[in-house]
Chain A
């Protein structure tokens, strides 16, 4: 069943069409990859899904609900989480505190209610800390849990970004280039983790440049070029699709 559907989604900036007539669906419980040459519009698609920018045409449906015009925090509250390509972290917080922010936002009941420091709130805090530690452990950051996010090496910062997204207890996890810049060992670890995330019941939509990883891990692949969908299918089909190969000619694909 489709968890996320983009229907004829388009985004232009004046005459520049960043994305046009984009139609695809992500099935629940799968790892779905979005690939394409540089500048194809993949990050734009993510921004559209998470509500950071609004489409100029089309609809986005998540879990049966039209979320096209919703603000980012509302979409986040509905179970869409995202790890970013650039590192957006709470630099002055520790790793654990960063992850905890994902939990505190789960019981959003409005500004006034939060002000009351009830016992229920304190118990929720304790539970959140336990779960946060579990996520930190899962992502291999246990040793750094009290380290300031700003002091972490790049690879750990990316892992932290994913941890924060997981802390939001998402139904759909968007991952923007999770293994870019990682060495083969780190890369393999991340791939394993992504699989385990999927096995936990979280649907993953992935943007990634490394063809090796994409072919290895994806249940389904959508290929876009110049903002348009040019192919969709299983890894084997995509590997041999002529249009896809043409689109990538001249691109430095990751042969490793």
Chain B
């Protein structure tokens, strides 16, 4: 199995991100005021609509609904992904059997599975939850597995020589040795999970922020559309930065 795909490169720092986004805000304000195009509104008008839609409109319930689906999908993905990753890393034959399948799942456009899920589960938010799960589970699995495979032999031999059982070695040595890679996997998985969330919601067009995107798109409400896009942007960045912070707390020995 190939080593962990790097995908979005490493860390984002909060300050430069805020700086870059502020620059974009300023640019959009300037360009928007110029009235160049219907599709380039000024930030202030978007902000105004955003506030309105949030407080009196459907944005807040949609956001909460999206978060609900997200958590319902992510939590099992993390748990299952970590456990599966540890197992597939620990028992090499297991890993080898599933290798081609994993390779496939990592390179295939997972959004393609959504119509299949819709056929099985109908038009419901279960599809969204499963999509979030799909989008993050494999990434977490692969990263955890790679992390475990990188455990220094000497640590394992040391534990064995002190009489540790297989389970003890798994939980006390392998788990912690794999932890840094695991956290990378969780972060990448969480970010991808947000993508799954949005795509899923857009395709079933029933609930959540994805539905709002479709709705406003269909009704040509540009400012509203931007407002939702910005909210989603905020969500994605918050998730990414939050997990980075968690990462730093969890792994202080690095």
A binds B: no
Give residues in B with beta carbon < 8 Å to A: none
